Every structure is written in structure tokens, then in C-alpha cells.
Amino acid sequence: MHLVDLAGAMAAMRHARCTVVTASVDNMTFLHPIRVGQMVLLRSSVNRVFHTSMEVGVKVFVEDLITGEVRHTSSAYLTFVAIDAEGRRVPVPPVIPETPEEKRRYEEAGLRRQQRLLRKKKAC
């Protein structure tokens, strides 16, 4: 989970070009175990920006170094907030989806944000 947070933060910082902090992790699914001697591969991307926050999707893969087999082991959606040196929120440039896959991730990120906001409202 620590590696997922780091991979997500790197994608968020690369997009925002400033410091980011983790605001939430929606969920994390575990599909297959990662065993000693296997290589962990992480892919992260900013799915959508919501002014000062952004959703980042992270996929984790494992590669068996003997056989070369690669398997998807887990996925997570994280929300990061961009901050300045004093810790104040700062605006982030928008994501402009171009490919069908980017457009799908963009739309789904909007739906997940609505769900997050509803959960937050119910918790208060």
C-alpha cells in the first residue's frame, strides 16, 4: 500500500508541479498475492482534476522473473490535494482527456467523486 501511495503521489506531483498530500484512498482490491522474488510494477495516472484535488488511479502488477508472466494484482483510487509551501491548497491544471480510455477514466472519476462527497456528508 505504501508503494501505491508513492506511485500515486508521483503522478499527482508530475501533473500539478507542486507538493501534494494524500487526502483519501477509496478502496484497494487485492486479486493475486505478490511473492518473494517477484518484481512489482506500478502504473499511475491522474484521472481527473477537481480544482485543488485530483483523483489518481494506480494499478499494481507482478512479474515472475523466472517465467516472465505478468499479472494484475491490485488497483486503487487515491485523492491528492496540491499545496504550497505554507500548506495552503493551490489550483491544479485540468486534465484534458483525449483517448477513449482517458475519457472513460475521466467520467468514472467524476462519479466516484460524487460518491466520496456523499459518504463524507453522511459521516458528518
pLDDT digits (tens, 9 = 90+) for 70-106: 999 999 999 999 999 999 999 999 999 999 999 999 9
Q: Compute φ and ψ for 88, nearest 5 degrees.
A: -85, 145
Return the CATH number at 114: 3.10.129.10
Which candidate, 62, 102, 59, places its Cα nearest to that of 77? 59
pLDDT tens digits for 23-36? 999 888 889 999 99
Nearest to 113 by CA among 68, 72, 63, 52: 52
pLDDT number for residue 91:
98
Name the average pLDDT for the chain.
Answer: 95
103 is in which domain, residue-wise?
A: 2-123
Number of domains in the chain: 1
The full 3-state SS of 73-89, as one line of letters, equals EEEEEEEEEEECCCCCE
Q: Residues in the chain, how many?
A: 124
| Integer Cα distance of 121 and 50 in angstroms | 18
Contact 25, 80 (CB under 8 A): no
